[in-house]
């Protein structure tokens, strides 16, 4: 599904962080979002994920709005935040079960667990997991259901070399399956490896990088 963002604006702490962001991403396209620390990359992803409200503007997936937690197309959006956090007492299995129940889709199957290397800590509480382990667990939850737009915030941060290779392969597969990917990153090698279009957020606007 095509992601379309039009004139998105957000003011935070008295500063216009997003000052009319426009973007179109085709089905199966990966877009790498670069920008200095504090440029507003996470803010943009949070808005698209429905966890933060925009002040103005529109964002649609396949023509249906994704803005706000009750948006019609929200079930097609998967999001992994930068901190990849969950309540400390939850295990990755419980997080996946919770997300699956909320989305009314089946819990992840064995093949998915194997693929993401989750077996070793599937039943351990989040509070005792490393950043990379939490990131893999959150990615597993974010991929549940019919995800057509994947939003990833600094996804290679905290991953070991094998994790980055697996993530790269997974992103290529998802692109071939038509998933649109928007990834905030400081990692040009990862952007290149997944064949992403590069854009840069600067002074509140998106430009080709
Ligand atoms: N809740 C908030 N209240 C006030 N200001 C905020 C809030 N959240 C973020 N900001 C500010 O908004 C700006 C954009 O932050 P954001 O986290 O989106 O940047 P970023 O591009 O993701 O940065 P980084 O590369 O460091 O992760 C920053 O100046 C930040 O201080």
DSSP letters for 149-175: EEEEESTTTT--HHHHHHHHHHHHHHH
- Say how many Å lie between the CA of residue 121 and the centre of ligand 1: 31
Residue 103 confidence class, pLDDT cut points 50, 70, 90: confident
ipTM of the complex, rounded to two decimals: 0.95
User: Residue for token digits 């937690």?
Assistant: 69
Q: In whole angstroms, what is the distance from residue 120 CA to residue 132 CA?
A: 13
Distances (CA, A) of 23 to 110, 144, 180, 200: 36, 25, 12, 11
Q: What is the pLDDT of residues 10-55, one digit of tens each?
A: 999 999 999 999 999 999 999 999 999 999 999 999 999 999 999 9
Assigned CATH topology for domain 3-87+147-208: Rossmann fold (3.40.50)
Q: In whole angstroms, what is the distance from residue 80 CA to residue 78 CA?
A: 7
> Which ligand 1 atom is at minimum distance from the Cα of 184?
22
| pTM for the model | 0.94
The reported pLDDT for the residue numbered 109 is 85
Ligand 1 pocket (Cβ < 6 Å) reads 12-13, 17, 35, 37-43
- Say how many Å lie between the CA of residue 20 and the centre of ligand 1: 16
């Amino acid at each position: 599904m095509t992601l379309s963002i039009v004139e998105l604006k957000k003011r935070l702490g008295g500063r216009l962080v997003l000052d009319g962001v426009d973007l179109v991403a085709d089905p199966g396209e990966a877009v790498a979002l670069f920008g200095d620390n504090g440029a507003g990359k996470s803010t943009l992803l949070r808005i698209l994920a429905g966890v933060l409200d925009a002040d103005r503007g529109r964002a649609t997936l396949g023509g249906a709005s994704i803005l706000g937690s009750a948006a019609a197309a929200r079930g097609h959006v998967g999001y992994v935040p930068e901190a990849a956090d969950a309540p400390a007492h939850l295990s990755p299995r419980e997080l996946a079960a919770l997300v699956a129940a909320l989305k009314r889709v089946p819990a992840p199957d064995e093949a998915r667990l194997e693929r993401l290397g989750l077996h070793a800590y599937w039943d351990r509480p989040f509070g005792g997991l490393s950043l990379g382990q939490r990131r893999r667990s959150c990615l597993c939850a974010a991929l549940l259901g019919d995800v057509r737009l994947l939003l990833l915030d600094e996804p290679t941060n905290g991953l070991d070399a094998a994790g980055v290779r697996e993530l790269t392969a997974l992103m290529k597969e998802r692109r071939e399956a038509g998933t649109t990917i928007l990834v905030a990153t400081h990692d040009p090698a990862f952007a290149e490896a997944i064949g992403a279009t590069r854009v840069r957020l600067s002074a509140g606007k998106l430009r080709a990088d």
